[in-house]
């Protein structure tokens, strides 16, 4: 197995899917000759030609709308929106059409498109380049929303997303694009869309997170173990919508303590839904109120102050201590 | 380095073949087979009569809100008649006669406008898209469909409809721009009916014509008398032939008029004069086409009456069938269908929840 960055792993997924299925078409701004501003589509235009990798004019709504037409026809478009901050120009196409075409036509048409877009902070970028707005998409019926957290699951989830018959918003944590490498098998690997994953076992509390926040969450979990002998169970949500509550509900029934960590603003963030599911399905197992460690309900700050906004291992650790220090027997 | 004029080779034509007085330009008269001419006439009459019946049903409370089409039959029928069934048709929502031409059943309108999604179902073998309500958004889908048809090396073309209001939307400009850049086989048809609810065409754009907007995107544009079915047919034929043979997209502006309201919830007397409507009534697309066919010896008074009674009978039968069909369409559990390819677990739970609610409601009802 080769050790790959997330950029390389995503590139592998695209290349292999394009090799085995002529219906897979890439389109977006600078995805061809330039290989994408983050190089995720590097080399693909050379291998597959301009018919398979389209450098489009600069118009996000048209990239999404054209992808819908291609998908209705029967192709599998994978479009790239250069930064999620510009994806809002696609919103009416995704909400009004991509997510509804199957329903509207009683199953005659469906829209198997994947909209890839880098999200989140931590790369010292300009305004509109650091937001984490998964709630917008996750709130849309008919749409699926996936966020990987490392090279290996990014590759496997992207392959599954391309093959999925429903439209998928695929958020790529840009802070992790080149942050670390993982073994990624050359042979085909998929992961189910709509399933969360237990990534660290523990008995004392449950940490629920996804995307770029998985790193500080796992770091906090190992600090907790090393420093205080507290064993945190960690769950990677992976698919924000449709949300799989089975694994985290099971975990919290076991640990009785839960926290949710995300970079998105707190109010109405994915944490609100996750916690509600816990109230519905694990309330009587809870020892203490649930904690949220999230972005604040403000604009993503410009980069000199973004560390104050983005949750880090220390914030997560402090919240975990608040959770575990309160004991019923004290 | 002088300041000088840039020569833009393109130009925009206006095309009229059969004017509202019945004057015919025989040099431009398209060669349309007689059976197609008669089929078009019948389709126009059916479109008009059905539109009138729908309005009538709406006023009686037998259907909900809908967007009438009367006056625009030539603008969309002349266009659609040129397509093969394997070509793609992307409607907005004011192409009644064209949708019927493409195989949509009359009863599906009645069920749909009674709030049943079943009415929007599309036959598996058809290449029609559903109505698109968000104005102009469907234009981009046509670009994608046309691109895909070209990629698969078919000779399919895609025809998309929209109104004058839609030409102010970004999606219109983005669509024409993409179509020009990728040279896709798409025909963009603007039914300029002069009014986007209460906003007149003159307040929609400062441009003299809508057709000229094509020039900015490097594609051909033409303005036609949209109430002249010979002109709309001829313009469509030219554009479709060009697209099919690899010549790329075309923008066609059909100058027409919405004789009634935007939707049944609209009162056009608030923003336009009766004189204007009367003036356009004189330019009715059906009247002049009928005269043309009479002169050609294809229609007689008897034949006209026969067609009208046959059309009215067809409409009545459809109304009866739809009202029968709707008796079996009440099941509220239907709302969970077709949201995803496979129903996710949380939706199954919500479906069970609704089923319980309904059961409990029934029980409470029966307990008094």
Q: E strands of A99-167, at which residues?
A: 114-119, 144-146
Identify the domain boundary among A153, A184, A215: A184
What string of DSSP letters covers B7-55?
------EEE-SB-TT--B-TTT-----HHHHHHHHHHHHHHHHHHHHHH
The answer to whether residues B232 and B351 belong to one domain is no
Quick one: average pLDDT of A174-196? Answer: 97
From residue A267, alpha-carbon distances to A138, A288, B133, B178 in Å are: 14, 21, 32, 38
- What residues of B are in contact with residue A56 (Cβ under 8 Å)? 178, 181
Residue A330 counted as domain residue: no
Q: How far apart are CA B358 and CA B332, in angstroms?
A: 9
**Predicted confidence (pLDDT) per residue in B78-123, tens digit:** 999 999 999 999 999 999 999 999 999 999 999 999 999 999 999 9
Question: Across residues B248-271, what is the average pLDDT?
Answer: 96
Q: Using pLDDT thresholds of 50, 70 and 90, give the confidence band for residue A150.
A: very high
Shared-domain flag, residues B298 and B354: no
Question: Can you give the pLDDT at residue B178?
Answer: 98
Clarify whether residues A165 and A206 are in a common domain: no
* A151 inside domain: yes
Which chain B residue lies closest to A67 (C-alpha atoms)? B144
Residue of B nearest to A277 (CA): B346
The conformation of residue A283, written as its DSSP 8-state character, comes to G
| B306 and B336 housed in the same domain | no
Closest residue in A to B116 (Cα–Cα): A104
Q: Is residue B7 part of a domain?
A: no
User: How sure is the predictor about B8, in pLDDT bands with cuts at 50, 70 and 90?
Assistant: confident
Axis crossing angle, helix B34-59 with helix B285-295, rounded to the nearest 10 = 150
The residue among B214, B197, B196 whose CA lies nearest residue B253 is: B214
If asked whether residues A157 and A248 sit together in one domain, one would say no
Q: What is the mean pLDDT of residues A20-34?
A: 98
Mean pLDDT of B347-357: 95
In a domain, A290, yes or no: yes
Domain that holds residue A71: 2-184
Closest alpha carbon to B187 in B229, B145, B231, B129: B145
User: In this structure, are B285 and B138 located in the same domain?
Assistant: yes
Which tens digits make up the pLDDT trace of A72-129? Answer: 999 999 999 999 999 999 999 999 999 999 999 999 999 999 999 999 999 999 999 9
Active-site residue, B271 included: yes
Q: How far is A278 from chain B (nearest CA, A)?
A: 14
Preceding amide of A242 cis, omega within 30: yes
Whole-number mean pLDDT of chain A?
Answer: 96
Whether pLDDT at B175 is above 70: yes
- Residue at B344 is within a domain: yes
* Catalytic position from the list B14, B59, B151, B271: B271
The nearest CA of chain B is from the CA of A274 a distance in Å of 13
Yes or no: say if B161 and B128 are a contact pair by the CB < 8 Å rule.
no
Q: Give CA–CA dist A110/A37, Å, rounded.
A: 30
For the stretch A84-104, what's the b/e string if a residue is b when 16 or more beta carbons lie within 10 angstroms of its beta carbon? Answer: bbbbbbbebbbbbbbbbbbbb
Which of A70, A77, A105 is the closest to B120 by Cβ?
A: A105
**Cα gap A71→A13, rounded to integer Å:** 19
Count of Cβ atoms closer than 10 Å to residue B55 Cβ: 17
Determine, yes or no, domain membership for A189.
no
* Percentage of the residues of chain A whose pLDDT score is greater than 90: 98
Task: Check if the beta carbon of residue B215 is closer than 8 Å to that of residue B221.
Answer: yes
Q: Which CATH number characterizes residue B52's domain? A: 3.40.50.970
Full residue range of the structural domain in which residue B247 is found:
13-328
Averaged over B177-191, what is the pLDDT? 98
Nearest to B141 among A65, A92, A106 (CB): A65
Residues B272 and B324 in one domain: yes
Q: Is residue B81 part of a domain?
A: yes
B349 and B273, same domain (yes or no): no
The domain that contains A10 carries what CATH number?
3.40.50.970
CB B68 within 8 A of CB B113: no
List the alpha helices (DSSP H) in B82-169. Answer: 96-101, 106-112, 139-151
- With respect to residue B312, please indicate whether it lies within any of the assigned structural domains: yes
A250 occurs within a structural domain: yes
User: Given an 8 Å threshold on Cβ–Cβ distance, is A69 in contact with B143?
Assistant: yes
**pLDDT of amino acid B368:** 53
List own/partner pairs for A123-126 with CB under 8 A and 24 or more apart: A123/A174, A123/A175, A124/A303, A124/A306, A125/A303, A126/A302
Asked if residue A177 and residue A97 are part of one domain, the reply reads yes
Rg, chain B, Cα only: 23
Same domain, A97 and A172: yes
Model confidence at A327: pLDDT above 50: no
Residues A146 and A228 in one domain: no
Q: Hey, how many other C-beta atoms are within 10 angstroms of the C-beta on B278?
A: 9
* A vs B: CB pairs below 8 A: 135
**Quick one: pLDDT at residue B31?**
95
Residues B340 and B213 in one domain: no
Same-domain pairing of A164 and A222:
no
How confident is residue B9, by pLDDT bands cut at 50, 70 and 90? confident
- At B35-64, the pLDDT tens digits run 999 999 999 999 999 999 999 999 999 999
Rounded Cα distance between B283 and B188, Å, is 24
**Do B77 and B219 reside in the same domain of the chain?**
yes
Q: What is the pLDDT of residue A330?
A: 39
Same domain, B311 and B336: no
User: Could you say which of A134, A162, A184 is where a domain stops?
Assistant: A184
* Domain match, B250 and B353 both: no
Last residue of a domain, one of A135, A161, A184: A184
B212 domain residue, yes or no: yes
Q: Is A6 a member of any domain?
A: yes
Identify the CA nearest to B69 among candidates B6, B142, B131, B148: B131
Percent of chain A, pLDDT > 70? 98
Are residues A205 and A173 part of one domain? no
**Residues 6 or more apart in contact with residue B98 via CB below 8 angstroms:** B76, B77, B79, B80, B89, B91, B161
Contacts of B337 in chain A (CB under 8 A): 103, 106
Whether the Cβ atoms of residue A54 and residue A26 lie closer than 8 Å to each other? yes
Residues 322-361 of B with CB under 8 A from A: 337-341, 344-347
Instruction: Please check the confidence at residue B188 and state whether its pLDDT lies above 90.
Output: yes
The total number of structural domains in chain A stands at 2
Contacts of B149 in chain A (CB under 8 A): 73
**Structure confidence at residue A164 (pLDDT):** 98
A148 with A281, same domain?
no
Provide the Cα torsion B278, B282, B285, B287; round to 10°: 130
Interface of B with A in 75-94 (CB under 8 A): 88
Q: What does the alpha-carbon distance between residue B270 and residue A50 come to, in Å, rounded to a whole number?
A: 53
Same domain, residue pair A220 and A293? yes
* 8 Å CB contact between B352 and B140: no
Are A124 and A133 a contacting pair, CB within 8 Å? no
Identify whether B3 is part of a domain: no
Domain count across chain B: 2
Q: What is the pLDDT of residue B364?
A: 86
Give a yes or no: residue A312 inside a domain. Answer: yes
Q: Is residue A254 part of a domain?
A: yes
pLDDT in tens, A29-63: 999 999 999 999 999 999 999 999 999 999 999 99
Are A150 and A218 found together in one domain?
Answer: no
Chain B contact for A105, CB < 8 A?
yes
Q: How confident is the model at residue A329 (pLDDT cuts 50, 70, 90)?
A: very low
Q: Do B125 and B189 lie in a common domain?
A: yes
Strand pairing of A239-241 and A144-146?
antiparallel
Q: Are residues A82 and A210 in the same domain?
A: no
Residue B6 lies in a domain: no
For residue A66, the distance in angstroms to the closest alpha carbon of chain B comes to 4
Cβ-in-10-Å burial (0-12, 13-18, 19+) of B7 comes to exposed
Same domain assignment for residues B157 and B227: yes
What is this model's ipTM?
0.96
How would you write B223-247 as a 3-class SS string? EEECCCHHHHHHHHHHHHHHHHCCC
Calpha distance A167→A165 (Å, rounded): 7
pLDDT for position B365: 80
Question: What would the pLDDT profile of A57-72 be if each residue is shown by its tens digit?
Answer: 999 999 999 999 999 9
Nearest CA among B238, B194, B197, B200 for reference residue B220: B238
Q: Which of B117, B121, B144 sits opposite A67 (nearest CB)?
A: B144
């Amino acid at each position: 197995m080769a050790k790959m960055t997330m950029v390389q792993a995503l590139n592998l997924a695209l290349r292999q899917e394009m090799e085995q299925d002529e219906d897979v078409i890439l389109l977006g701004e600078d995805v061809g000759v330039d290989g994408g501003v983050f190089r995720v589509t590097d080399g693909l235009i050379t291998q597959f030609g301009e018919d398979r990798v389209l450098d489009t004019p600069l118009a996000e709504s048209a990239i999404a709308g054209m992808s819908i037409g291609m998908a209705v026809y029967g192709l599998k478009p994978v479009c790239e929106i250069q930064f999620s901050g510009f994806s809002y120009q696609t919103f009416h196409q995704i909400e009004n059409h991509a997510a509804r075409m199957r329903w509207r036509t009683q199953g005659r048409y469906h829209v198997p498109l994947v909209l890839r877009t880098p999200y989140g902070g931590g790369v010292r970028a300009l305004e509109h380049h650091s937001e984490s707005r998964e709630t917008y998409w996750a709130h849309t019926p008919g749409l699926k929303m996936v966020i990987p957290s490392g090279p290996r699951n990014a590759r496997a989830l992207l392959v599954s997303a391309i093959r999925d018959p429903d439209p998928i918003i695929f958020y790529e944590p840009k802070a992790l694009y080149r942050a670390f490498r993982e073994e990624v098998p050359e042979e085909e690997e998929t992961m189910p869309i709509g399933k969360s994953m237990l990534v660290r076992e523990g008995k004392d509390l449950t940490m629920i997170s996804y995307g770029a926040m998985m790193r500080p969450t796992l770091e906090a979990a190992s600090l907790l173990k090393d420093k205080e002998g507290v064993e945190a169970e960690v769950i990677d949500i992976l698919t924000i919508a449709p949300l799989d509550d089975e694994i985290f509900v099971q975990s919290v029934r076991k640990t009785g303590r839960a926290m949710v960590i995300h970079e998105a603003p707190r109010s109405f963030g994915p944490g609100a839904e996750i916690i509600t599911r816990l109230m519905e399905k694990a309330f009587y197992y809870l020892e203490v109120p649930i904690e949220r460690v999230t972005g604040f309900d403000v604009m993503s700050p410009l980069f000199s102050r973004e560390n104050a906004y983005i949750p880090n291992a220390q914030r997560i650790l402090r919240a975990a201590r608040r959770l575990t220090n309160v004991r019923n027997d004290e | 380095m002088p300041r000088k004029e840039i020569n833009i080779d393109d130009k925009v034509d206006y095309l009229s073949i059969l004017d509202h007085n019945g004057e015919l330009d025989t040099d431009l008269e398209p060669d349309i087979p007689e059976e197609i001419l008669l089929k078009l006439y019948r389709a126009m009459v059916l479109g008009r009569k059905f539109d009138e019946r729908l309005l009538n049903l709406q006023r009686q409370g037998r259907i909900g809100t809908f967007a009438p089409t009367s006056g625009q039959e030539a603008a969309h029928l002349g266009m659609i008649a040129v397509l093969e069934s394997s070509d793609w048709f992307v409607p907005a929502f004011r192409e009644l006669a064209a949708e019927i031409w493409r195989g949509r059943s009359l009863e599906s309108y009645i069920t749909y406008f009674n709030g049943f999604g079943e009415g929007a179902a599309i036959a598996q073998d058809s290449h029609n898209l559903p109505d698109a309500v968000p104005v102009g958004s469907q234009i981009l889908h046509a670009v994608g469909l046309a691109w895909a048809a070209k990629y698969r090396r078919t000779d399919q073309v895609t025809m998309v409809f929209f109104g004058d209001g839609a030409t102010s939307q970004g999606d219109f400009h983005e669509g024409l721009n993409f179509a020009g850049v990728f040279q896709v086989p798409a025909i963009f048809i603007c039914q300029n009916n002069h009014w986007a609810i209460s906003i007149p065409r003159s307040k929609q754009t400062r441009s003299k014509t809508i057709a000229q907007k094509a020039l900015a995107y490097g594609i051909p544009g033409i303005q036609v008398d949209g109430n002249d079915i010979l002109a709309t047919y001829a313009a469509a034929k030219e554009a479709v032939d060009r697209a099919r043979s690899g010549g790329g997209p075309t923008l066609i502006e059909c100058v027409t008029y919405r004789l009634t309201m935007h939707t049944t919830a609209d009162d056009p007397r608030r923003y336009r004069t009766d004189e204007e409507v009367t003036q356009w009534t004189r330019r009715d697309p059906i009247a002049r086409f009928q005269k043309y066919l009479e002169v050609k010896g294809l229609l007689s008074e008897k034949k006209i009456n026969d067609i009208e009674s046959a059309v009215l009978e067809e409409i009545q039968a459809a109304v009866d069938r739809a009202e029968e069909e709707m008796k079996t369409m009440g099941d509220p559990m239907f709302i969970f269908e077709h949201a995803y390819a496979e129903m996710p677990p949380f939706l199954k739970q919500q479906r069970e929840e609704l089923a319980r609610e309904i059961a409990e409601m029934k029980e409470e009802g029966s307990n008094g």
